[in-house]
Amino acid sequence: MKTIGVFDSGVGGLSVLQALLAELPGARFVYAADSAHAPYGERTAQDVSERTHRIAEVLRAQHGIDALVVACNTATAHAIDPLRLQFPDMPIVGVEPALKPAAALSRTGHIGVLATRGTLGSARFARLRDQLMRASPRPLQFHCQPCDGLAAAIERHDQPAIQSLCELYVKEVTHMAGSPNAVDTIVLGCTHYPFALHTLSQLCGPDVSLVDTGVAVARRTRDVLGVQAPEASSFAEPLLLTTGDPVALTQAAHRWLGLKGEAQRLATELRPAVN
């Protein structure tokens, strides 16, 4: 049985874990949330990189993971390349905003991108966006909106804040496009945001497609591990670890994934984040 580590700054990576559980039912999962230092999107690149490397070290040394899914767009943007150099023998799968699938879906070529400030400001995101725009046979416009506070509101399960922030950021994307009906596709560029899908769907309406990366990441993980088809196996509850409040992660896993296990404290020797 393969042991797969799944890492996010907080509870957002549970959206990726949900897809992984469906795609790889025979695997054992260890989910690590660095909730004591969330959200990553408003931290420095150095801070994010240091946290990502240290947590990967702990998951490898203490939990024997065979592969790692970095289920955080900001951590992928700032840390995945050096992380692969640090662990050359371990498959590492990252997440990136689903710009390419969104471009294929869009009829108008106007695509909204909701993401953290850290993701949108990264060189990795800029390369991905620019490559797609150059390669496209038609004009594409990506209307990129940093969503300060939204991941934190989802962490807290603060529905009034989620509602007001989603209203603000959808309005800003529409304003950038210059026409209420120009944007027909919106990328959810943070793994937290699928947990606001109902709110965003109501705000955007049925004519706007909302695109996230969970299923694609799960399939990529299966391919990297060389599993040709889902393995028949009894379901094993993921091990849930957090640097923050175990109750908060437990409740999120119960609420969104129907998991029954109780979260535990992640290794106490983790260095504190740089402020």
Which of these is catalytic: 72, 147, 166, 204?
Answer: 72
Do residues 60 and 75 share a domain?
A: yes
Average pLDDT over residues 46-68: 94
| Angstrom distance (rounded) from CA 186 to CA 103 | 10
Do residues 41 and 106 share a domain?
A: no
Degrees (nearest 5) of the Cα angle 98, 103, 108? 135
pLDDT in tens, 19-37: 999 999 889 999 999 999 8
| Angstrom distance (rounded) from CA 231 to CA 248 | 31
Is the pLDDT at 257 greater than 80? The verdict is yes
Do residues 105 and 201 share a domain?
A: yes
Per-residue tokens: 140: 């594409």
Active site residue 204: no
pLDDT in tens, 109-165: 999 999 999 999 999 999 999 999 999 999 999 999 999 999 999 999 999 999 999
* 270 located within any domain: no
* 272 located within any domain: no
Do residues 88 and 219 share a domain?
A: yes
Do residues 83 and 160 share a domain?
A: no
Active site residue 72: yes
Question: What is the structure's pLDDT at 42?
Answer: 81
Do residues 88 and 220 share a domain?
A: yes
Do residues 192 and 120 share a domain?
A: yes
| Angstrom distance (rounded) from CA 114 to CA 112 | 7
Do residues 90 and 137 share a domain?
A: no
* 271 located within any domain: no
User: Which residue in this structure is represented by tokens 């390349």?
Assistant: 81
pLDDT in tens, 219-236: 999 999 987 655 555 668
Which of these is catalytic: 144, 166, 190, 204?
Answer: 190
Give the pLDDT band (50/70/90) at residue 103.
very high
Do residues 106 and 30 share a domain?
A: no
Do residues 225 and 193 share a domain?
A: no
| CATH number of the structural domain spanning residue 87 | 3.40.50.1860
* 222 located within any domain: yes
Number of domain units in the chain: 2
Task: Outline where the chain has alpha helix (H).
Answer: 14-23, 45-63, 73-86, 99-105, 117-120, 123-135, 150-156, 159-177, 197-204, 214-224, 246-257
Do residues 66 and 108 share a domain?
A: no
Question: What is the structure's pLDDT at 179?
Answer: 86
Per-residue tokens: 156: 């807290």
SS3 content of the chain, % helix, strand, coil (to 5): 50, 15, 35
Find the domain containing 236 and state its range.
Answer: 3-94+215-265
Per-residue tokens: 161: 């804040």
Give the pLDDT band (50/70/90) at residue 273.
very low
Do residues 24 and 63 share a domain?
A: yes
| DSSP for residue 78 | H
